[in-house]
Structure 1
Amino acid sequence: MIRHHLIFREKSGHLEENIRVPFNAYVHKIVLSDEPILHDHPWNWGTFIISGGYYEHTPEGTFWRGPGSWRTQTSTDLHWLELKENKPCWTLFWHGRRTRVWGFQTSDGWTDYRSFLQNRLESRT
């Protein structure tokens, strides 16, 4: 992603600079818990909990992530989120460049998201 800034100088008018920022950031409102299936992401990411919170389920255990907590993860780290009492959670969420396809950890092993969603759709019909 390229950001543009104008830098004014007294004698030379202005100089336009391109500044590369290697991540995206969002204020994110989480309103639903994830399905209880471990998944990963297509990029490295981080989050800071602004308000509310959630339980984060990982292969290492379940952890409460409340206001003021923050963490960073790699694209291959698995988790799923469960809101506390189905109350929304506000976060500042950021991620880097896409490095892979994301997917789900199933009983058959890791499955890319397209195959997982297609299989789920077919099993419901």
Structure 2
Amino acid sequence: MNIVWKITAWLASRRRIADWLIERSQHTPYFDIVKSGETYMRRWWLFNPYDHETRKPRHRWCPISIRVHHIMKPDDDRHLHDHPWNARTIILRGSYLEEVAPDSGPHMNGRFRPGLGSLRVRQRGDTARIGYGQFHRITSVSRDGVYTLFISGAHRGTWGFLVGGQKVPWREYLGIKE
């Protein structure tokens, strides 16, 4: 299966195809993420399976969503974070440096210690699986940011931050009341 993703990433990142994916997605904007008054990430839908009102998938048989992300700045949070679903990222333009926790995943049981993870360069044509419970952080992005094709599956839980070897739910970490 990995070879299929590598071929898909190579094709999607060809200049004409990447330009088309980016341009097409910009017809269906999602909300931007703004931190400290600056845009951190712009996002657009390529395929949105969610009902606008309920925010639940319209069809059980199709739990995936596909977006284009323009990551303009590195993550400024002190701790690594995970996502609430399994996902796949394909780098369409630009590059980033990512810190990834070792052995992170639902089975981790607090074994991560900061500084012992790995750094990975992700550049045009690369693809990576991002599993639920896999903690990471983008530490730098190329000058013009990085465009990614982001494919996510069904929700598996909440996202959070890895603090002292334990997952802290995002609202608690950011001090947001429900």
From the superposition, tell whether residues 22 and 108 of structure 1 become closer, same or farther in structure 2 (CA, over 3 Å): closer
CA distance in 1, matches of 2:80, 2:136: 5
Query: Which residue of structure 2 lines up, in the alignment, with residue 38 of structure 1?
Result: 80
Query: Which residue of structure 2 lines up, in the alignment, with residue 51 of structure 1?
Result: 93
Bigger drift between 103-112 and 89-98 goes to 103-112
CA distance in 2, matches of 1:19, 1:32: 35
> SS of the residue aligned with 2:175?
helix
Structure 1 runs, 4 residues or longer, greater than 3 Å off: 84-87
**1:17-40 CA distances to partner (integer Å, 9 max, x unpaired)?**
x89322000111111110242000
1:86 Cα offset (Å): 4.6
Query: Which residue of structure 2 lines up, in the alignment, with residue 82 of structure 1?
Result: 139
**1:76-117 CA distances to partner (integer Å, 9 max, x unpaired)?**
100001233553100100100111011001136220001100
> SS of the residue aligned with 2:97?
strand
Among 45, 65, 68, the alignment partner of 2:122 is: 65
* TM-score (normalised: structure 2): 0.53
1:72 Cα offset (Å): 1.1
* TM-score (normalised: structure 1): 0.74
From the superposition, tell whether residues 83 and 100 of structure 1 become closer, same or farther in structure 2 (CA, over 3 Å): same
From the superposition, tell whether residues 48 and 108 of structure 1 become closer, same or farther in structure 2 (CA, over 3 Å): closer
CA distance in 1, matches of 2:137, 2:128: 14
CA distance in 2, matches of 1:87, 1:107: 34
Contact kept? 1:49, 1:67, Cα under 8 Å: yes
**1:42-75 CA distances to partner (integer Å, 9 max, x unpaired)?**
0101100001110010123101000000011211
CA distance in 1, matches of 2:120, 2:163: 21
Query: Which residue of structure 1 lines up, in the alignment, with residue 63 of structure 2?
Result: 22
Question: Gapped runs of 5+ residues in structure 2?
Answer: 1-48, 51-58, 102-116
What RMSD, in angstroms, separates the aligned Cα atoms of the two structures? 2.2
Query: Which residue of structure 1 lines up, in the alignment, with residue 168 of structure 2?
Result: 111
Q: Which has a greater percent of strand?
A: 1
Query: Which residue of structure 1 lines up, in the alignment, with residue 22 of structure 2?
Result: none
CA distance in 1, matches of 2:99, 2:161: 13
Contact kept? 2:75, 2:139, Cα under 8 Å: yes
